[in-house]
Structure 1
Amino acid sequence: MTETSRKTPTHGSSQAQLPAATDLYRLDTLLSEEERMVRDTVQKFVRERVLPVIGEHFEAGTFPRELVPEMAELGLLGMHLDGYGCAGLSAVCYGLACQELEAGDSGIRSFVSVQGSLAMFPIFAFGSEAQKQRWLPAMAQGEVIGCFGLTEPDVGSDAANMRTTARRDGTSYVLNGTKMWITNGGIADIAIVWARTEDGVRGFIIERGTPGFSTSNIHRKLSLRASVTSELHFDDCHIPAENMLPEVRGMRGPLSCLNEARYGIAWGATGAARACYETSLEYAKTREQFQRPIARFQLVQQKLVGMATELVKSQLLALQLGRLKDQGQLHPVQISVAKRNNVREALKTAREARSILGANGITLEYPIIRHMNNLESVFTYEGTDDIHTLIIGQAITGESAFS
């Protein structure tokens, strides 16, 4: 090799500028103009409307319901559905919105996910035209809030063995049972509830105020405090037969809804991770110990590098997931891979970020402990980490650990 050839840089390396610390792989260049616009719009909303109030709501254990009309005005409710007053945006746009909402707080993203993916989606996918016309426009406007009832006090991951039943009685169904850990339950106007019937698991639209239907909120939570979590109770609850979702039977119905929600979680977790990383990076640059910023210390840099690397990987995973969804090529196993990885890494990032902030990391002056506590719930809901591990394990080995 000649002296000249040794000095010649790899093509393009001398021209490339140092990437931003929060976008090491220039993911921004992989997004369309519309996708960037959606991301930036939601990011601005979170910065101006969510972040100034979310710490107080988290501390008080209250949901900022006053933000619902604003989220509806932005088109965030059911934004990935077509028609009926919904924005009809791409899966990637929806994912980017979830990322920015969860950078604010998991409770805010959970509200949007439940409204759009767990309450509106089953009506859109499995409802009658009359049901779609009646409910979807009002839900897109935030005038009607929905929730999704699948999990029960004694039945979580093994949802197929639910105990809630719906018995046909002339022109109505009679529901009996309890659903638990229901986001939005205490403020919902309608509940999409899954119950066992004589011909399999069916979904029902149940309106608040129906005799025999009541809710009770779950208190003393240390996670998702800025979110309403409830139990749904059905005691000989009579609902009209036309409130049953006619186009689906069996567990395919609720599981398809969960896949929609899990998709949003895979994106949302990257927002929580990014918020923790950015906070700890800025803190490390300004916090001085031993007459220098702690960002100079090797151990702190090691933590920041690990967070930055995992953030890039999670964002790339989420983006490819969205591209596959938009192309109609998405398989549920791929959602499990992304949900499992991105939530795991977001939780690790929150813990590493908290260690950089030291004692300051446990106060609500910074968002880290709030995100860390929230992510403990995200780690569990819409399929626990263990369940997603077994889903992936079955896919790659061909052997089921569930039976």
Structure 2
Amino acid sequence: MVERLTVDYSLRTQDDPRKVAETIAGEQSSGTFIATPGEDAALKERAAATVEILEEFEDEGSPVLPGSSGGDRARSFGLRLSWPMTNFGPSIPNLLATIAGNLFELKGVAGLKIQDIHLPESFKTAYLGPGFGIEGTRRVAGVSRGPIVGTIIKPSVGLDPDETASLVEALCEGGIDFIKDDELQADGPHCPFDERLRAVMAVIDRHADRLGRKVMYAINLTGEIDEMLRRHDLVAETGGTCVMVSLNSVGPTGLTALRRHSSLPIHAHRNGWGYLGRSPDNGWSYRAWHKIWRLAGADHMHVNGIANKFWEPDDSVIESAKACLDPLFADRPDRVMPVFSSGQTVMTAHPTFERLGADDLIFTAGGGIVAHPQGVAAGVRSLREAWEAAVAGVPLEEAAKNSAALSKAIETYS
């Protein structure tokens, strides 16, 4: 039996929906706008994409894509297409060309969003997937239970290596679990990668014995493939325990190359996700999009945060995090750590745990830690206490009665 790839879309069209669905299937497999020599029944049987499902649901009435053909009323449909894997094989770049290529440009398409990808088994053998995932990240970070409490180097850019190390010193003294570079800081002339790494690791190593673990530092090595591999090796040689990469900047091929080379957890930042996922009926759902990166080898995936400073609703954030906690393949330990960020404070610990129902996550707070009036250590302590209360089912205000740091954090961030 021929192995097939199946993809779910939401389709909006003002044209005949069956005709548009068949056009998409043809455009993305063996067909084009006119019959061509050699496109006989046997070839179509062998190579054509198939419309598996076309089911109408209520249309929200939002504006359609520019240049859409047909009438003046759009209708919405759940569309499932499948392709024979013999068309392109287990290749992420060619998977993307197939499922997310010219179909968005067809005149009959008034809106199209990739909702889910059902990966066949051949992808599991072709790609390594996460090297550490949840269990490996906990082991390397030395945090066996509860959320991994972290923060982001702020200001995003402007600090030199020594100033960055000074901030890391305060964070390590405060007992932080995890620190990451901002996505804007990789290898700028004011804060070169090599110098920043050595300055920060000197601090982390100095605190390791006292803490009984190394604070996990996700240093941003985003760059050309050869640069990333060299930087990875320097991190490993220096005793670092994590690397970070901007997914949309390096692409799936870049991440795949890094994963095949890497001996460290890969912290995957989704910056730029908004131009792919913000529209309700165009682009990608997070559930579908994140599978590409998990397959390529990400260990941690950003999902935004509850009550975030951006556009994303809480329901979407939680759905994204739950997707990270679902296995990609049933028989492979490939769950990844969802990373909560964006305006997170002690006030969002309880709703995050209540909605997610799990504490396998990295919870990064910038201002929610470093802006605590009593200092960085109090910021770390208050955030940890808020999470301990959330997991134990103790109301936040009740827990604050026994903690000056938590009480002050509630006052500050409410």
TM-score (norm 2): 0.27
